[in-house]
Structure 1
Amino acid sequence: MRRSLTLFLVLPVLASCTSVLTGSPTPGTVLEQRGPAGTVPAGLERFYGQQLGWGDCADYATTGTTRSQYKNKKSIECARLEVPLDYAKPDDRTIKLGLLRQKATGDRIGSLLLNPGGPGGSGMSAAASLGVQVGKTALGERFDLVGFDPRGVGASQPQVRCLTDTERDADRLDVDLDTSPAGVAQTEAENKAFAEKCAATTGAELLANVGTRDVVRDLDVMRSALGDEKLTYLGYSYGTHIGAGYAAAFPGNVRALVLDGAVDPTQNQVESLIAQGAGFQKAFDAFAAWCAQRQDCSLGKDPAGASKAFRDLTLPLAQRPVDVGSRKLSYNDAITGAIQAMYSEELWGPLNAGLTELKNNSGQVLLQLADAYYDRDAEGKYSSITDAFTAIKCVDEPRVTDRAVIDDVARRYKAAAPFLDDGNPAVGALDSCAFWPVPPSVQETKPVAGLPPVLVISTTGDPATPYQAGVNLAKELGGGLLTYEGNQHTVYLQGNECVDPAADAYLIDLKLPDPGKVCS
């Protein structure tokens, strides 16, 4: 199944007028009511002031990865927050969002809410991963670190689900490189079937209300239920889009926003996709230059020839996938594995090893990299991120059905990222969003009066959200810009001795870095 225009993520209310009760608490659960706090929209008082039942996180794990993260970890606790499925009908059906918290160890300012991006990424998993490092810092002393799974994602109930694990494995083997009229028609039929399956499995009502517009509303409920009059928020990648959306919808409710790896507010989805293609090519060129200095470089000693060498190595997989135990490495997975490695210099070594393996007709490392991208665990279970990614993108952006535009995108993307050129004519197919069963619900991100200073962090060699996007977002929001010189996607809380203290000082003391500050 080809997605040509996407970027490379119930229970009724049982309540009094001020508290939503989410069922009988399980043994060991501690009920806590800190809200309502700050501004509360009329008609939503029972959500903004609800009790949260905090307890062991084991029951919130949905994958092998999260089971390992949450098991016997005493420093974290989990709860579920109840919100309206449709904010236009708050007295109708409700859904639940998963929250994971690591409490402040010192003089607490409030909660630091975290979203890792995607769309479709688990904030609970991200908070559990960051917890040990954050807990030893001034940030961990002053803030409860709270990760949330957005609606439809991870531990939130219900999940967006479109494909079974077996169907997802099969989808990854479906190359879809035939750009003849018959090939395009077949791809579009598959994409239409995928959209229909999503609607049948997940339900159109959830799909219609799973976008950023509604996540922004959920974030404000979270703020209040956690007892914070103003929101302190950290968003990575797509999480910056959530943060910008919140700034537009609730500017007076913002205390501090750190937005790392910005989605460009000035570009439409087509321009963003082309810019991202150029970003991945820039990262690949940096990888090729690094590789060329090694004796064991899989792509040869001439960086200028690396794109061709990569294509020559991977394109045969389109006809002859490589056996990897009981599975196969497809052309799609080889490309996905390479893209995964572009997110961090730490993965350049594994990518080089995987490409060397491929020369010897082996595909284990590249398949592992692709599995990491799709969040497939060792048991063969997938998280909800891939299905949620499509569902959220399809309602967050206007659908594109003009075939001339789609063909132009294919042409421009090939030119922007030649290492990913599959050698076929630049012909596109309607993606699943063109057949989506519910209309878009686009979230405005234009800033309005009353927004306090925010901090945008942008990395010069970021492949997925190129540097200029951060420059543009900082300008759009009237905020500060912190530049990091490096080759990776996002940087804050990854141990950089320049970035981390600067962003910590902003979150704790509301002090922006000096204008023009650059870290490396």
Structure 2
Amino acid sequence: MSRATRRIRVRARLTAALALAALTTAWLTGCTASSPASPANGTKPELERFYDQRLAWKDCGDLRCARLTVPRDYAHPDNGETFVLPVAKAATADPGERIGSLVYNPGGPGASGVSDLAADGGEVFGAAVRARFDIVSFDPRGVGGSEPAVRCAEPDDGGGGDGGDDAQEPIAPRTAGDRSRAFAGARAEAAACVKGSRGILPHVGTDDAARDLDVLRAALGDRKLTYLGWSYGTSLGTSYAEQFPRRVRALVLDGAVDPSLGWSERALSQGKGFRRAVDDYAEHCADLAGDACPADGPQEMSDLLDGLYEEAARQPLPAGDDAYDVDARTLLDVVTDAMYSPEDSWGDLSEALGEAADGDAAKLAGMAADDEEPAGSHRTRGRARENDDEAILAVSCLDTPHPREARPYWDALAAADRAAGVYGTSSVVDELTCADWPAGTRRPHEVRAKGVPPVLVVGTTGDPATPYEEAESLAGQFPGGMLLTYEGRGHTAYGRGGSCVTRAVDAYLVDRRPVRADAAC
């Protein structure tokens, strides 16, 4: 996935530091042995000790928490190196009607599943699902409370020079000097992550995380996996289905990532998705923002945005003495972030853009600061700090092969500029760090999951980050794949797309009821 997905929002944020401290205390306890769900065959003897774990659950606020140990390198599982992963569950209130566990991943890559579950206790799931399943999530290898976790040191200058205190990094480097500095800076960032992560970067990819998911399935005591993945979580679910097709009970993939796309195709797909979403915002601003909309029509709104980008590129927009001024990249981040949940964000975005056009970017700066909250908020107290940005970089770069030389990026930049403007060029520039990343083993490919039961893919027609076309493609790649269309705006559908989506997904998860070929909500 493009590094522009660094800012993919998990569906909820933690609201209490006490819950975080309780989670950490609980998962730091141990595991005991003997799971009844170890695979009967196809597992190396060296892996049996991992599959034979039985989770030792402890109370952690309203949840139950444990930890799972998995091999760091599945090719050499007996070398003594491991990841220890936090796991949390919201137990069903009716154990007598329990089907099993429903494991989910909230997205990213880089989102903490444990923190996400603590935020709402699984309430995002429909009542029918909560009544029949324990809701379970975990921090994937390298993410959040994983031990060890991906860490990036402070990058060196990278050879680009400091450029002075007022120098700005352009959204789309066009001159030879800008491109040289951008590529050198990206190489320095990659080197800092290699240095800070102490050798774990080759082992944090999605295929290994999917193998961890199978160890978790066994440790939960489930013969087959019931799973829901949002956004990046669809990549994790797809990898699981390819590696363990006959261990799938039910699989929901919402906000699909198409595994057949290469790095530049994926960046272009996402750039187009954001371009369409911003155009939709310009056309319908008044519908959701009302009087806060700073323009009288689509063209006026587009002109206002273009003018702010041009002004911020020349000199950051002034935000007052108490905030950093807003440069062009920060403005872009705020605008694209608001496309994830229009019903929650378009009003604030409209007010901020209107005030910035009048010379005051303080509200834009405040929105940017809110987006950066995970780095130093109350959510980090009492537990390992979250590493969303570092982990999304690590997993995304490892999962998708990238060119080592600079020329292909500049070629892709031109195509993305023509197709999606700043939203396309920023997606391509975000890929530069991957040029110097440790090489993974995955390649773009269509799904290979012979024997998997029917998989339900959910696609939102106005999804900016995982465009609907990718959901159509992914559903068609699975044997017997089903596509549920949510005709709406924003990123992903289940939990925010209304009762129609909830009923269809819940019926599939509980009863494995198929959806019809043209199902739409």
Taking structure 2 as the reference length, the TM-score comes to 0.84
Give the superposition deviation at 1:399.
Answer: 1.4
Q: Which of the residues 291, 294, 301 maps onto 2:296?
A: 301
Partner of 1:474: 475
Partner of 2:181: 186
Is there any run of 5+ residues in structure 1 with no aligned partner, and where? 10-24, 58-72
| C-alpha contact (below 8 Å) 1:161/1:201 kept by paired residues | yes
Query: What SS does the aligned partner of 2:514 have?
Result: coil
* 2:270 aligned with 1:270: no
Q: Which of the residues 123, 140, 144 maps onto 2:113?
A: 123
| C-alpha contact (below 8 Å) 2:38/2:218 kept by paired residues | yes
* 2:52 aligned with 1:49: yes
Give the superposition deviation at 1:333.
Answer: 1.4
Give the superposition deviation at 1:363.
Answer: 3.1
Query: What SS does the aligned partner of 2:319 have?
Result: strand
Q: Which of the residues 77, 80, 83 maps onto 1:90?
A: 77
Partner of 2:37: 37
Partner of 1:196: 191
Q: Which of the residues 350, 367, 374 maps onto 2:348?
A: 350
- After superposition, the CA RMSD in angstroms is 3.0
Following the alignment from structure 1 to structure 2, what is the Cα–Cα distance between the partners of residues 289 and 507? Answer: 37
What is the letter of the counterpart of residue 351 of structure 1?
A: L
Following the alignment from structure 1 to structure 2, what is the Cα–Cα distance between the partners of residues 27 and 111? Answer: 18
| C-alpha contact (below 8 Å) 2:145/2:386 kept by paired residues | no
Give the superposition deviation at 1:30.
Answer: 8.9
Give the superposition deviation at 1:475.
Answer: 0.7
Following the alignment from structure 1 to structure 2, what is the Cα–Cα distance between the partners of residues 483 and 237? Answer: 15
Give the superposition deviation at 1:77.
Answer: 1.7
Query: What SS does the aligned partner of 2:56 have?
Result: strand
* 2:169 aligned with 1:176: yes
Where has structure 1 moved over 6 Å in runs of 4 or more?
25-32, 426-430
Going from structure 1 to structure 2, the CA distance change for 1:112 and 1:125 (only over 3 Å counts) comes to same
| C-alpha contact (below 8 Å) 1:85/1:94 kept by paired residues | yes
Partner of 1:513: 515
Going from structure 1 to structure 2, the CA distance change for 1:189 and 1:77 (only over 3 Å counts) comes to same
Following the alignment from structure 1 to structure 2, what is the Cα–Cα distance between the partners of residues 220 and 356? Answer: 50
Going from structure 1 to structure 2, the CA distance change for 1:144 and 1:259 (only over 3 Å counts) comes to same
Give the superposition deviation at 1:301.
Answer: 1.8
Following the alignment from structure 1 to structure 2, what is the Cα–Cα distance between the partners of residues 500 and 296? Answer: 32
Going from structure 1 to structure 2, the CA distance change for 1:260 and 1:420 (only over 3 Å counts) comes to closer
Query: What SS does the aligned partner of 1:80 have?
Result: strand
| C-alpha contact (below 8 Å) 1:188/1:430 kept by paired residues | no
| C-alpha contact (below 8 Å) 2:27/2:87 kept by paired residues | no
Following the alignment from structure 1 to structure 2, what is the Cα–Cα distance between the partners of residues 38 and 452? Answer: 20
Partner of 1:483: 485
| C-alpha contact (below 8 Å) 1:5/1:431 kept by paired residues | no
Give the superposition deviation at 1:428.
Answer: 6.2
Following the alignment from structure 2 to structure 1, what is the Cα–Cα distance between the partners of residues 429 and 270? Answer: 17
What is the letter of the counterpart of residue 480 of structure 1?
A: M
Q: How does 1:449-468 map to 2 (within 5 A)?
A: 449-468=450-469
Going from structure 1 to structure 2, the CA distance change for 1:365 and 1:112 (only over 3 Å counts) comes to farther
Following the alignment from structure 1 to structure 2, what is the Cα–Cα distance between the partners of residues 253 and 104? Answer: 23
Going from structure 1 to structure 2, the CA distance change for 1:330 and 1:383 (only over 3 Å counts) comes to farther
Going from structure 1 to structure 2, the CA distance change for 1:329 and 1:56 (only over 3 Å counts) comes to farther
* 2:404 aligned with 1:401: yes
What is the letter of the counterpart of residue 317 of structure 1?
A: A
Q: Which moved more, 1:268-277 or 1:358-367?
A: 358-367
- Residue-by-residue CA offset, 1:149-186 (whole Å, 9 max, x unaligned): 11111111111111569x9xx9xx97421532222222
Partner of 1:440: 440
Give the superposition deviation at 1:278.
Answer: 1.2
| C-alpha contact (below 8 Å) 2:31/2:66 kept by paired residues | no
Q: Which moved more, 1:358-367 or 1:109-118?
A: 358-367
| C-alpha contact (below 8 Å) 1:135/1:141 kept by paired residues | no
| C-alpha contact (below 8 Å) 2:228/2:252 kept by paired residues | yes
Following the alignment from structure 1 to structure 2, what is the Cα–Cα distance between the partners of residues 266 and 245? Answer: 12
Q: How does 1:381-396 map to 2 (within 5 A)?
A: 383-396=386-399
* 2:196 aligned with 1:207: no
- Residue-by-residue CA offset, 1:232-270 (whole Å, 9 max, x unaligned): 110011110111111111101100000000001332221
| C-alpha contact (below 8 Å) 1:113/1:146 kept by paired residues | yes
* 2:111 aligned with 1:108: no
Query: What SS does the aligned partner of 1:95 have?
Result: strand
Following the alignment from structure 2 to structure 1, what is the Cα–Cα distance between the partners of residues 309 and 421? Answer: 13
Query: What SS does the aligned partner of 2:250 have?
Result: strand
Give the superposition deviation at 1:275.
Answer: 1.5
Q: Which of the residues 280, 288, 293 maps onto 2:282?
A: 288
Following the alignment from structure 1 to structure 2, what is the Cα–Cα distance between the partners of residues 364 and 353? Answer: 11
Give the superposition deviation at 1:193.
Answer: 1.2
Q: How does 1:161-172 map to 2 (within 5 A)?
A: 161-163=151-153
Following the alignment from structure 1 to structure 2, what is the Cα–Cα distance between the partners of residues 474 and 455? Answer: 7
| C-alpha contact (below 8 Å) 1:36/1:45 kept by paired residues | no
Going from structure 1 to structure 2, the CA distance change for 1:316 and 1:518 (only over 3 Å counts) comes to same
| C-alpha contact (below 8 Å) 2:154/2:192 kept by paired residues | no
Partner of 2:338: 341
Following the alignment from structure 2 to structure 1, what is the Cα–Cα distance between the partners of residues 423 and 30? Answer: 52
Going from structure 1 to structure 2, the CA distance change for 1:409 and 1:26 (only over 3 Å counts) comes to closer
Query: What SS does the aligned partner of 1:227 have?
Result: coil
Give the superposition deviation at 1:34.
Answer: 6.6
- Residue-by-residue CA offset, 1:442-462 (whole Å, 9 max, x unaligned): 176622321101100001111
Following the alignment from structure 1 to structure 2, what is the Cα–Cα distance between the partners of residues 89 and 150? Answer: 19
Q: Which of the residues 310, 313, 318 maps onto 1:322?
A: 318
- Residue-by-residue CA offset, 1:394-442 (whole Å, 9 max, x unaligned): 11011123544312321222222236488x9x99697111112x21231
Is there any run of 5+ residues in structure 2 with no aligned partner, and where? 7-24
Query: Size of the alignment, in residue pairs?
Result: 476
Query: What SS does the aligned partner of 2:143 have?
Result: coil
Give the superposition deviation at 1:188.
Answer: 1.7
Query: What SS does the aligned partner of 2:5 have?
Result: coil
Give the superposition deviation at 1:474.
Answer: 0.7
Partner of 2:150: 160
What is the letter of the counterpart of residue 305 of structure 2?
A: F
